[in-house]
Amino acid sequence: MLRRRVRLCSLTKGAAFSPILTAMGYTLQTMGNAISLPYGPQAMAAVAARADFPILAANCRDGDGPLPKGLQEYVLIPLPHGLTMGVIGLTAPWGGLYKIFGLHFPDFCDVARALVGKLRKQCVGPIVVLSHLGLEDDRHLAKSVPGIDLIIGGHSHNRLPTGEESSGVLVAQAGQYAEALGRVDMTLDPTTGQVLARSAQVLNVPEDEPPDPAMLAVIAAAEQEVDALVAEPIGVLEVPLNLDHFHECGIGNLTADALREHLEAQVAIVASGLLHQGLPAGTITLGKLDASCFTTANPCLTKVRGEQILTALERGLDPVISQFKHHGFRGTPIGIPQISGVVVEYDPGADVGDRVRRVMVQGEPIDPNRLYCLAHTDAETMSKVGYLVLDKGQSTEQEVPTIVREVIEDYVRRHSPVPQPMQGRWLSIP
C-alpha cells in the first residue's frame, strides 16, 4: 500500500515506488486509489512508465472511452502445454467519485462480462480477475459474471486464510500492510485448460524476518532520488511567511495568490488547513515547500455568483467548519478561507452567518448576481464542511494531476525573489 506521506510517494506521486515493486518481483498490478484519487488517474502514466509490469484497470474510463495512458484492460499469460491465462484488472469506482476527473466509470460487472467473453475466444486456460473492488463487490462480481475462475482481491483489507468459494469462484485476499503473502495454486487439464483443482493460503511474514539486502539497496537508490528532489532550490522569499489557520497569514496569502494567477481567476479561496507550516525567508527548497504544503488537492476553476462567494466567506468564519478536523487534512483544522482578489470587512463578534459586512472584488463592491471566475481546490467543495456550496449541475474545471504544492512552486519560481504578499485582506471591524 502506498502512503502519501512517505516522501517516495508524495514527491513523485508514486512513480519512484514502481522500481521497488519491480525489484520485489511483481509481474502484474491493478490500479488502487492511493495515487489515482488524490492526483487523478492521469498520474498513473508516470507510475506505469517506471514499472516493468502491466497495470490493469479495465473499468477506469469515461463510459466507452479509452483508458487513461499507462493502464491496460487485461493481459494474456502463456502457460505450459500451449495454455494461456487471461487476467483482467478492475478497480473500485468509489461511488462515482472519479467523475471529478471527467471519468464516468461503466459498471464493473458489464466490463468484466464483455472481457470474459472476449478472452474465452482467445485463450485456453483460466480467467483471473485482479481486483481492487473490495470483498463485497468481489462476491457480487463472482455471482454476476460467469466464466471467472479466480478473483485475487484487495481494497477492503480482508484476510481470507484459505480463500472463500463464492458462486463457484475462488476469492482470495491476504489482509493488509504486507503482514502476509497470499498464495493460490491451480491444477489445470493440460489439454483443455479446465481448472481441476484450486486452493488458497495466507503465509504470515515473521516479525523477525530480516530485510532483504537487495531490496534495501533499491530503496536506498530511490531515497537518493528523492533526496536530490527535496534539496532542489525553487526560489527566494524576501520575508518569512507565517501560518495561522484562524487568521489571515503570509503563507495563506501566497497560496491564494498563486492559485488565482495560475487559473487566471478574479478571486481565489483556499482552506487554511491545506497548509501545515510557514516558510522561512531566504532560499526555499522543494523539501521545505513540501513540508509546508503536502496536500493532494487539485486546482479548480468555477464560475460562481457573487452570492456564492459571500456564502463561502460566511461559512469559513463559522467555528463549526473552521475548527473541524477533517481526516483528509492530516491533522490540521479546516481553518478560515485564505483569499486573493478580495478584501473582506467582517465583525468577529456578530452572529455566525452574519459576520461579513462588506466585500470588495478587485476594488469594486461584490455583486451578488454577477458571475465571477473563482479559483479554489476540491477541498473547498467538500460536502457539509466545505466553504463553497455549488448548485446541482454547476460545472467545475479541475486540473489534474496538478496539486497545490506545484502551483505554489511555479509561482515562486516565476516571481523570485518573492516579496511579502499584500496584507489586509481580512479587516476586522467593530
The span from the CA of 190 to the CA of 251, in Å, is 66
* pTM score, whole prediction: 0.82
Residue 331 vs residues 255, 273, 275: alpha-carbon distances, Å: 19, 9, 11
Residue-wise pLDDT for 41-54, tens only, equals: 988 999 999 999 99
- Give 128's strand partners: 87, 150
Q: What is the band of 35 on the pLDDT scale with cuts at 50, 70, 90?
A: confident
Which of 32-46, 135-149, 295-309 shows the lowest mean pLDDT across its residues? 32-46
- Give 203's strand partners: 181
* 420: nearest Cα among 284, 236, 240: 240
Q: In the prediction, which pLDDT does 91 show?
A: 98
Place of cell 537487495: 214
**pLDDT(6) > 70:** no
Phi-psi region of 25 (alpha: psi -120 to 50; beta: other; left: phi over 0): left
Q: Given the DSSP bridges, would you call strands 169-172 and 164-166 parallel, antiparallel or unpaired?
A: antiparallel
Q: In the prediction, which pLDDT does 245 show?
A: 98
Residue-wise pLDDT for 99-118, tens only, equals: 878 899 999 999 999 999 99
Average pLDDT in the 135-154 region? 98
Q: Which 3 state secondary structure label does DSSP give 90?
A: strand
Phi-psi region of 145 (alpha: psi -120 to 50; beta: other; left: phi over 0): beta
Q: In the prediction, which pLDDT does 251 show?
A: 98
CB neighbour list of residue 262: distance below 8 Å, 6 or more residues apart: 299, 375, 407, 410, 411
**pLDDT(285) > 80:** yes
The amino acid at residue 106 is P
Residue-wise pLDDT for 212-269, tens only, equals: 999 999 999 999 999 999 999 999 999 999 999 999 999 999 999 999 999 999 999 9
The span from the CA of 52 to the CA of 48, in Å, is 8
Is the CB of residue 423 less than 8 Å from the CB of residue 253? Answer: yes
Q: In the prediction, which pLDDT does 1 show?
A: 47
Displacement of CA 200 from its chain's centroid (Å) = 32
Average pLDDT in the 387-393 region? 94
**Burial class of residue 345 (count of CB atoms within 10 Å of its CB; 0-12, 13-18, 19+):** middle
CB neighbours of residue 216 within 10 Å: 11
Average pLDDT in the 141-151 region? 98
Q: What is the band of 408 on the pLDDT scale with cuts at 50, 70, 90?
A: very high
Q: What is the band of 327 on the pLDDT scale with cuts at 50, 70, 90?
A: confident
Q: Which 3 state secondary structure label does DSSP give 417?
A: coil
The structural domains of the chain, ordered by start, are 7-225 (3.60.21.10), 233-428 (3.90.780.10)
